[in-house]
Amino acid sequence: MTIIDEIRQLKAQHNAVILAHNYVNGEIQDIADFCGDSLELSIKAKDVKAPVIVFCGVRFMAETAKLLSPDSIVLLPNSDAGCPMADMADAGEVAAFRKENPDSLLVAYVNSTAAVKANVDICCTSGNVEKVLNSIPAEKKVMFLPDRNLGGNMVNKLERSMELWRGYCPIHNKVTVETITEARKAHPGAVVLVHPECQVDVIAACDHALSTGGILKYVRESTETEFIIGTECGILHRLRKENPGKKFYSLQPELVCVDMKKITLENVRDCLKNMSEQIELPEDLMKSAVRPIEAMLAL
């Protein structure tokens, strides 16, 4: 029996659903019931109503799934799959900021821990950040966390001032304007699509800054045929599979999120065999942390 057969068998036995982020290895995306960006996966986790959800992504995403599906067993196939940006906002520090700044509204990018979410007013993803910020009165003081790049890009785009936390994604922060200039020379006419976690000067130099789901949608609907992709390389799998007639060039081959790549076929099988690691959060934390996610989904 192949490992894929084993996974299928265990999946059927536990009545499990496999959700996968657009950045995980292609072979994991291929066995998933649903692939998506963090917003799409949050919505799916809420709607899927499966007794067991195998979450192929990083810890904060699996935590979000658990918050939205508290009655399901949510499995993270590799306990070490974290997000360095999420870890750049410490819950204690966020709670202290909140206490010292009672007139500030705290907006947390979903790339944050459940403990941080418990201390904020509303969440956003890169797919709905504009909608979330536009729902807040312009005169309201806002602290955006943890991503200074996504926050800074929204300060420019929406022309609203916000205080920014000091976090960033170590992968997207590596994207440079010079590589965009070189890639445009190598592939004249190709559309440059990057993720809004890139730095402000990169956003100014690209054609469109979009969430991973936004990039997939843009390419699907575009009549253009060549694209330079400035985000984590895992997305190329879906882009190529879904658009066989179009060409994709990775902006920088080193755009690899090692945490997303920690999910393997072996640990997907093993987590279903051992029913571990199950995401477990204290009940009071669950109650406080789901509130800003629900506020986001209610918009």
Which residues of the shown chain bind ligand 13P in the complex (CB under 6 A)?
22, 37-38, 111, 125-127, 169, 195, 197, 211-212
Residue placing its CB nearer to ligand SF4 in the complex, 10 or 209? 209
Helical axes 283-297 vs 59-68, angle rounded to 10°? 90
What is the rounded distance in angstroms from the CA atom of residue 229 to the CA atom of residue 264? 24
What is the rounded distance in angstroms from the CA atom of residue 245 to the CA atom of residue 226? 9
**15 phi-psi bin (left φ>0, alpha ψ -120 to 50, beta other):** left
Residue 145 bridge partners (DSSP)? 108
285 counts as binding ligand SF4 under rule CB under 6 A: no
Could you say which of 34, 84, 130, 249 contacts ligand SF4 (CB under 6 A)?
A: 84
Question: Which residue stretch of 8-16, 29-37, 40-48, 83-91 sits at the interface with ligand SF4 (rule: CB under 6 A)?
Answer: 83-91
What is the rounded distance in angstroms from the CA atom of residue 163 to the CA atom of residue 17? 39
Taking the complex as a whole, the smallest distance from the CB of residue 205 to ligand 13P amounts, in Å, to: 19
Q: What mask, x for binding ligand SF4 by CB under 6 A, covers residues 53 to 82?
A: -----x------------------------
Q: Which does 125 bind (CB under 5 to 8 A by kind): ligand 13P, ligand SF4, none?
A: ligand 13P
DSSP letter, residue 216: H
What does the block give as tokens for 78?
């590799």
Say if residues 68 and 293 touch (Cβ distance below 8 Å).
yes
111 counts as binding ligand SF4 under rule CB under 6 A: yes
Could you say which of 164, 171, 235, 279 contacts ligand SF4 (CB under 6 A)?
A: 171
Q: Which does 228 bind (CB under 5 to 8 A by kind): ligand SF4, ligand 13P, none?
A: none
What is the rounded distance in angstroms from the CA atom of residue 108 to the CA atom of residue 113? 10
Q: Which does 35 bind (CB under 5 to 8 A by kind): ligand 13P, ligand SF4, none?
A: none
What sign does the dihedral 288-293-294-296 (CA atoms) show? Answer: positive
Taking the complex as a whole, the smallest distance from the CB of residue 215 to ligand 13P amounts, in Å, to: 8
Question: Which residue stretch of 12-20, 134-142, 207-215, 254-262 sits at the interface with ligand SF4 (rule: CB under 6 A)?
Answer: 254-262
30 counts as binding ligand SF4 under rule CB under 6 A: no
Instruction: State which H helix or E strand residue 35 sits in.
Output: strand 34-36
259 counts as binding ligand SF4 under rule CB under 6 A: yes
What is the rounded distance in angstroms from the CA atom of residue 75 to the CA atom of residue 53? 6
Provide the greatest CA pair distance for the chain: 62
Nearest position to ligand 13P, beta carbon: 37
Interacting residues with ligand SF4 (CB under 6 A): 58, 83-85, 111, 169-171, 197, 232, 257, 259-260
